Amino acid sequence: EPEVTQTPSHQVTQMGQEVILRCVPISNHLYFYWYRQILGQKVEFLVSFYNNEISEKSEIFDDQFSVERPDGSNFTLKIRSTKLEDSAMYFCASSRENTEAFFGQGTRLTVV
Amino acid sequence: GQQLNQSPQSMFIQEGEDVSMNCTSSSIFNTWLWYKQDPGEGPVLLIALYKAGELTSNGRLTAQFGITRKDSFLNISASIPSDVGIYFCAGQVNYGGSQGNLIFGKGTKLSVKP
């Protein structure tokens, strides 16, 4: 069964460093998303991406964040200068048009 | 912004019990989804609801999309130990054919009674 895959599963980085989280969405999906979940809290929307551009973003997705689809298969989230409060699980998700979103296993980002 | 109120926050079950949880909102959604999350894993889709009033089952799970489009419930019948985990409701609004993002509830944590 096709699935969303994310790498790495765990990333530890020093405050102020840049990180890139990678995702391979399900191949025939058109909509791509990043969500994050701070430990013990609910899943929060960051950004959605469709037709090679951002279609919606939340207040959390400030200038430190960017997304890219560098080729036909990868979808990346970059955090330019990480802060301690960026520590969270980051989930990539994808969906076809007007259907449910499927989530990857997540990347646990720890900023020290 | 849009918010979902999910209840209960947590519940303890004994094997064989039926479980019920729900989500309400002051906003209307086009789609309601129910996900389950195990520790350290991503949310896994359980049931998707697309029409107001829709009642859908997936094995021992049954979910309904409220008539007002502002609420949904999830029932689990005859619970088993592997039902333990965190259950999230999520609502989605689609704008003129464009797919909106998911708004998640805070989750219902299902644990086994000692």
Residues of chain A positioned with their CB less than 8 A from the CB of B10: none
Scan residues 36-95 of A and list those with Cβ closer than 8 Å to B: 41-45, 48, 50, 55-56, 58, 91, 93, 95
* Strand-pair partners of A56: A48
In chain B, which stretches have pLDDT less than 50? none
Who's near B18: CB < 8 A, 6+ residues apart?
B75, B76, B77, B78, B79
Taking chain A (112 residues) in consecutive chunks of 10 residues, what is each chunk's mean pLDDT? 92 97 94 94 93 92 94 93 97 87 95 97
Q: Which residues of B touch A97 (CB under 8 A)?
A: 99
Q: Are A24 and A5 in contact (CB under 8 A)?
A: yes
pLDDT for position B75: 97
Is B101 within 8 Å of A56 when comparing Cβ atoms? yes
Note the pLDDT of residue A100: 85
Chain B residues lying within 8 Å of A98, measured CB to CB: 94, 97, 99
What is the DSSP track for B75-88? EE-S--GGG-EEEE
Question: Dihedral (C-alpha) B37, B53, A34, B98: value to the nearest 10 degrees?
Answer: 170
Cis peptide before A8 (omega within 30 of 0): yes
**What integer pLDDT is reported at residue B13 of this predicted model?**
87
Q: Which of A50, A91, A100 sits opposite B33 (nearest CB)?
A: A100
Quick check: B99 and A31 CB within 8 A? Answer: yes
What pLDDT is attached to residue B98? Answer: 63
- Give the number of other Cβ atoms within 10 Å of residue B8's Cβ: 12
What is the pLDDT, as a whole number, of residue A82? 97
Neighbours of B78 (CB within 10 A): 11
